[in-house]
């Protein structure tokens, strides 16, 4: 069982929630330092290390780890953030594209992420592991047909859904995995392509 959160630890985790909801990605260490008015990055490191060891926070390893902070379900279930429910619309491939399967299930999510345009997908595959999104994780997605360069998106390619990073080029669009074992997907002129949503948050259950 995890230790109770102090008020400052709750504030730290809630800042990550709010930032992720607003910007579609977790904050960097520098953005946390600025947002919480810490005097040094060492303070951010201390909170991240403490909350990771306590089971409230996970982070990706490697060079992208400082922006791949994810709150675990432990944070939500301890009452740090109230829960509500969003529809689980099916599976999304973080590998080769597969069809998203629609069903009537719902999933508990932190209350700040509840919005009429938000929904949940369960991830199948490991092409996004450098973004700390692993096989079996859940992602909260905001419905939209547009995205900023570099955002993680749910995209439809010829009717099949996939999860990748959106990288527009001058004369074409690329979808980038976050695992070097997978190739970049190039959208050809004859392909039917659309963005169905951007990823706001990822979480896993234990």
Determine whether 127 is an active site residue.
yes
* Inter-CA distances, 15 with 30, 35, 49, 184, 189, Å: 13, 8, 16, 33, 41
List the structure tokens of 106: 């719902």
Query: Which of 20, 122, 164, 202 is flagged as catalytic?
Result: 164
Determine whether 73 is an active site residue.
no
Query: Which of 22, 127, 143, 202 is flagged as catalytic?
Result: 127
Q: Let me know: does 81 contact 112? Beta carbons within 8 Å.
A: yes
Residue written as tokens 């939500």? 76
Separation between Cα atoms, residue 196 and residue 144, nearest integer Å = 6
Active site residues: 127, 164
């Amino acid at each position: 069982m995890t230790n109770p959160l102090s008020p400052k630890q709750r504030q730290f985790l809630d800042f990550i929630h709010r930032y992720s909801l607003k910007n579609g990605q977790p904050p960097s260490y520098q953005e946390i330092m600025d947002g919480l008015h810490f005097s040094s990055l060492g303070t951010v490191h201390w909170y991240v290390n403490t909350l990771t060891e306590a089971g409230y926070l996970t982070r990706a390893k490697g060079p992208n780890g400082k922006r791949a902070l994810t709150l675990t379900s432990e944070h939500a279930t301890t009452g740090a953030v109230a829960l509500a429910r969003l529809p689980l619309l099916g599976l999304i491939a973080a590998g080769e594209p597969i069809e998203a399967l629609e069903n009537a299930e719902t999933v508990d999510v932190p209350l700040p992420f509840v919005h009429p345009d938000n929904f949940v997908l369960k991830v199948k595959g490991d092409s996004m592991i450098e973004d700390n999104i692993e096989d079996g994780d859940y992602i909260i997605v905001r419905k939209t047909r547009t995205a900023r360069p570099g955002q993680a998106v749910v995209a439809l390619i010829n009717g099949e859904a996939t999860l990748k990073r959106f990288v527009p080029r001058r004369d074409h669009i690329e979808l980038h995995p976050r695992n070097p074992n997978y190739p970049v997907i190039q959208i050809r002129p004859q392909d039917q392509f659309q963005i169905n949503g951007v990823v706001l948050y990822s979480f896993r259950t234990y």
